[in-house]
Structure 1
Amino acid sequence: MLVHPQFDPIAIHLGSFGIHWYGLMYLIGFLGVLFLGKWRIRRNPDSIVSERDLDDMLFYGALGVILGGRLGYVLFYQPGYYLSHPLEILAVWQGGMSFHGGFLGVLVAMWLFVRKTGKNWLAVMDFVAPLVPLGLGAGRLGNFINGELWGRATDVPWAIVFPQVDNLPRHPSQLYEFGLEGIALFLLLWIYSSKPRPVGAVSGLFLIGYGASRFIVEFAREPDSFLGPLALGMSMGQWLSLPMILIGIWMLRRALTRNN
């Protein structure tokens, strides 16, 4: 039986100032988008996005991730609490970010970007989609290092005890998400988008891939204590992922059909 190492949540100590692991993972994610995006632009002179565009997009996207992620957590997970404690909405250092909120935030941010530049929004999202999964994977590693978002109790050989929770062996669901949402989804999208595809196809595949990965892993992840299982025994993460899967299937089918 493995035991979670209970890492120091601060990765780098600089006197009285510290850089937390989770913040470091966000930085790695943003730098990954920048590096991979510029590599792909240099390999494709006809790219809809230029290197200068990418710098601007990263700024818009970072705001979308942070603001959307926080507001999504507030609205999707604990609206009653934050309605009673509105000032705590700003206390992001206490934790509480939602992928689905961050995703919506990025959609809005990219819409603002294309409104300014006159580019095709869906074509820009097709460019962005393959750059995202490694950042998602980095975020899940941050969850594991922090010992948060742990899995359900299990007897599988690779189960991990999270002493800060209890003494039960649990699924390392953060690592499952790292593997599926991070590595596997990155490889799928990177390979699929390496050849010209109909506009909207890559974005549709991202929605299907992320939504399905998250939906599956939620069976091994402990539901949020303040929510528990919702309708049909599904978690909030599963209910929020279902529309992504359905919209992704529709987008991919529509893109491929129009191209024939």
Structure 2
Amino acid sequence: MTLTYIHWSPDPEIINIFGISIRYYGLLFVTGIILCISMLDKIFKRENIPPGNIEKLSMYGVVGIIIGARLGHCLFYEPSYYLSHPIEMILPIQVLEEGGVKFTGYQGLASHGGALGLIVALILYSRKTKHAIIDTIDLIAVVAALGGGFIRLANFMNSEIIGMPTSKPWGIIFERVDNIPRHPAQLYEALSYFLIFGIMFYLYKKHRERLKNGFYFGLVLVLIFTARFIIEFVKEDQVGFENRMTFNMGQLLSLPYILFGLGFLIYGLLTTKKLSVQQ
């Protein structure tokens, strides 16, 4: 029996108007952020948090995610290149050897760096608004996986972060890469993140009074980065030096987040229990 695989080769660029490129990656990235902010707006109203806080949080959060994700890719995956081309870390350009520059967009964003950038942004937001950091990160955690799912859909549209070759019937041939059926690792992650978002939102809606003090933050870190660690086993390595590693860079960077998350999860459960006994 001969399997008929899906052939995938969409142009990452949707349209180009007067030299301005609109791409699937940017569209899905922005869509995910807008949906997260919309969900958070409803959550903030339910929590009786001042209306102006959502605008401040959006600004800090978006900037933190973009800067963290960009620096994370440059420093975790291609440090030798970008440390010798520091301007390309900051600006979406490539400096050409023959002189001049080429606009490339930000090619390379790391979710581990994005998570770290978001955490730093939330600390700054909390100091600015006096909104308790432990409460802030809990509420962000409820919707965080939703944004992550859209980013992985964007990777799928770009035919990047591809999976290893497979003979499974759901394998996809990414024609922009090669003619080999591969695991659609981006879709595995996207579906995992959407499922995690569903779990988080259900727990928030049904058990908010019992689950506080960092529980949601810890849980989402454990779920997202455990999923990431597992799915990395069917992904192609992103950079050459990973070929010599037992666990790739994505897996190694996931472990601290998982341990960090477990600490917050346990702290949240114990603290909430202790406070309820005192009351």
Paired residues for 1:12-51 under 5 Å: 12-42=15-45, 44=46, 46-47=47-48, 49-51=49-51
RMSD: 1.5
1:213 maps to what in 2?
A: 227
Residue segments in structure 2 that go unaligned for 5+ positions in a row: 93-104, 274-279
2:240 maps to what in 1?
A: 226
Shift of 1:198: 2.2
TM-score, with structure 2 as normaliser: 0.87
Shift of 1:230: 5.3
Conserved? CA contact 1:229–1:236, under 8 Å: no
Shift of 1:156: 0.7
2:212 maps to what in 1?
A: 198
Q: Deviations over 1:188-239 (max 9, x none)?
A: 11111223212100000011011111011101111113232454x1111111
1:98 maps to what in 2?
A: 110
2:139 counterpart of 1:127: yes
Conserved? CA contact 2:8–2:175, under 8 Å: no
The 10-residue stretch of structure 1 (69-78 or 9-18) with the greater mean CA deviation from structure 2: 9-18
For 2:51 and 2:9, locate their aligned partners in 1 and report how far apart those are by CA, in whole Å. 40
Conserved? CA contact 1:3–1:163, under 8 Å: no
Runs of 4+ in 1 over 3 A off after TM superposition: none
Secondary structure of the 1:164 match is coil
Conserved? CA contact 2:74–2:82, under 8 Å: yes
For 2:120 and 2:244, locate their aligned partners in 1 and report how far apart those are by CA, in whole Å. 28
- Aligned mate of 2:198, from 179, 187, 191: 187
Change (3 A) 1:229 1:191: farther
Q: Which amino acid aligns with 1:259?
A: T
1:11 maps to what in 2?
A: 14
For 1:88 and 1:125, locate their aligned partners in 2 and report how far apart those are by CA, in whole Å. 31
Paired residues for 1:82-121 under 5 Å: 82-92=82-92, 93-121=105-133
Q: Which protein shows a greater Rg?
A: 2
Conserved? CA contact 1:230–1:236, under 8 Å: no
Residue segments in structure 1 that go unaligned for 5+ positions in a row: none
1:247 maps to what in 2?
A: 260
Secondary structure of the 1:237 match is helix
Q: Which amino acid aligns with 1:154?
A: T
For 2:9 and 2:18, locate their aligned partners in 1 and report how far apart those are by CA, in whole Å. 22
- Aligned mate of 1:137, from 149, 160, 164: 149
Q: Deviations over 1:84-139 (max 9, x none)?
A: 22222134415011111111111111111111111211110101111221111111
For 1:96 and 1:123, locate their aligned partners in 2 and report how far apart those are by CA, in whole Å. 31
Of all paired residues, the percent bearing the same amino acid is: 36
Q: Which amino acid aligns with 1:81?
A: Y
Shift of 1:146: 0.7
TM-score, with structure 1 as normaliser: 0.93
Change (3 A) 1:206 1:145: same
Conserved? CA contact 2:145–2:220, under 8 Å: no
Aligned length: 255
